[in-house]
Amino acid sequence: MNIRKRQVTDSWKLDETYIKVGGKDKYLYRAVDKQGNTIDFLLTKRRMKGSAQKFLNKAIGNNGKPRIINIDKSGANTAGIRTWNKRSLTSKKIKIRRVKYLNNIVEQDHRSIKRRIAITTGFKEFESAQRTLAGIEIVHIIRKGQILNLKTSMFKTFCSLAV
């Protein structure tokens, strides 16, 4: 999927939102760049430092290291970024910025995901939630025009990414 995705900027907005799975809260970590392009997403069972690190490793591995990440006051996200900076072999560290209004982009992006989930009756299994959310995110990425070479229809693009 990431090979065909348009390159993202080096200023990220990172946030998490809860999703009900089997009546319990699970956490959907999402990152967007300053233009609103989706960088990456990950559904985790817990909201803690390890989950934030896992998401950060996935996002950086797929999209490269950002210069700055804007977050809310989440301790898990702060700890995850600080741990990544400590383990990083490069001298340039990721700057952490906590400016509440700058996260409006990612909060609005959450809204479109939550709206789609609210229509359904919810999720019973974690794995089905992961698969469904991945499909919703892919459609969202296609709609935003992040996929290069959209000479084919949205459906064909979705099918090629889903395989």
- The half-sphere exposure of 73 on its side-chain side, counting CA atoms within 13 A, is 1
Instruction: Specify the pairing of strand 11-21 against strand 68-70.
Output: parallel
Q: How confident is the model at residue 154 (pLDDT cuts 50, 70, 90)?
A: low
Q: How confident is the model at residue 111 (pLDDT cuts 50, 70, 90)?
A: confident
Q: Which amino acid is at 39?
A: I
Tokens of 56: 């950060």
- Sheet of 68-70: strand order equals 38-44, 24-33, 11-21, 68-70, 95-97
pLDDT of residue 116: 76
When pLDDT is averaged across residues 139-152 and rounded to a whole number, the result is: 72
Q: Are 129 and 34 in contact (CB under 8 A)?
A: no
pTM of the full predicted structure? 0.80
Rounded distance between C-alpha atoms, residue 35 and residue 49, angstroms: 27
Annotation: CATH topology of 11-162: Nucleotidyltransferase; domain 5 (3.30.420)
Lowest-pLDDT range of 28-32, 138-142, 154-158: 154-158
Q: How confident is the model at residue 115 (pLDDT cuts 50, 70, 90)?
A: confident
Mean pLDDT of the chain: 83
- Residues β-bridged to residue 44: 27
When pLDDT is averaged across residues 116-140 and rounded to a whole number, the result is: 82
Q: Please report, for residues 26, 43, 137, 149, 151, the alpha-carbon distance to residue 19 in angstroms, rounded to integers and kept in the order given.
A: 5, 9, 14, 32, 34
pLDDT of residue 148: 64
Tokens of 5: 């995705």
Instruction: Convert the pLDDT of each residue in 5-44 to its tens digit.
Output: 667 889 999 988 888 888 898 999 999 998 888 899 999 9
